[in-house]
Amino acid sequence: MLQFKQVSKYYQTGQIQQQALKHISEQIQTGEMIGLCGPSGSGKSTLLNICGLLDLSYQGELYFDGHKLDNDPQHCMILRRQQLGFVFQRFNLVPVMSAFENVEYPLMLNKVATSERKQRVMQILDAVGMAEFAHSKPDRLSGGQQQRIAVARALVHKPRLVIADEPTASLDSHTAHQVVELMKDIGKSHQTTFVIATHDSRMSEHCSRLIQLQDGQILAKEAAACVA
């Protein structure tokens, strides 16, 4: 699904150059749920931005479904729209849109017909237990409910890859558990691949594999809990 070959990333701030990722080589298989962990500053966000095709200015090679990605913003934008979904710590729902409209948005971008959109949005809202809140605006919903909407929005267009940045960090334990289970359940039927940056053991214990970063390098790959 995703292959990194010797990927490095430098940030330039004035005269100072900071190497945020150092020669990352890694392969992520279809259907894996990868937990990306490591202390603050270890490179998680940088790697997540590259996985999400949001940052194209890295060194080395990245392959998506076996195809080498060039530094082509237009191509990456189309891949993002069609094949990727995103879940953020702070939900990032559009406040003026209802739950239904937020979830519908990726389908609109992908030019799915109106009748099919309605059916797919209601189906996934039902799957995340939020059908009765379809017409609610985000500010009428709890954090857990908003994150369920955000999960529905990330998965409604059946992306191949979902990128999640601390998706459970703002949630209580019970809700965090529900959100993780939803991501797993909905993703399973479509062989969705997940890359999830997390400090949260409630999240990482559900991952099929953990990648631990330290100082921009992969420290260890293990199936056990992550030490953040």
> Which of 15, 40, 74, 115 contacts ligand ADP by CB under 6 A?
40
Tokens of 194: 């997940």
Q: What is the C-alpha to C-alpha distance for residues 10 and 82, in angstroms, rounded to an integer?
A: 28
Binding-site size for ligand ADP (CB under 6 A) equals 12
Q: Which of positions 137-196 make contact with ligand ADP (CB under 6 A)?
A: none
> Which of 7, 42, 62, 196 contacts ligand ADP by CB under 6 A?
42
Q: CB-wise, 46 or 102, nearer to ligand ADP? A: 46
Residues 7-42 as b or e (16 or more Cβ within 10 Å = b): bebeeeeeeeeeebbbebeeebeeebbbbbbbeeeb
Q: Give min distance, CB of 71 to ligand ADP, in A.
A: 18
Cross-strand bridge partners of residue 33: 194
> Which of 43, 52, 144, 187 contacts ligand ADP by CB under 6 A?
43
Site string for ligand ADP, 17-36 (x = CB under 6 A): -x-x----------------
Q: Which residue has the tokens 């990245």?
A: 62
Q: Which of positions 46-105 make contact with ligand ADP (CB under 6 A)?
A: 46
Residues 6+ apart with CB under 8 A from 163: 48, 51, 52, 84, 85, 86, 87, 195, 196
| Residue ranges binding ligand ADP (CB under 6 A) | 11, 13, 18, 20, 38, 40-46
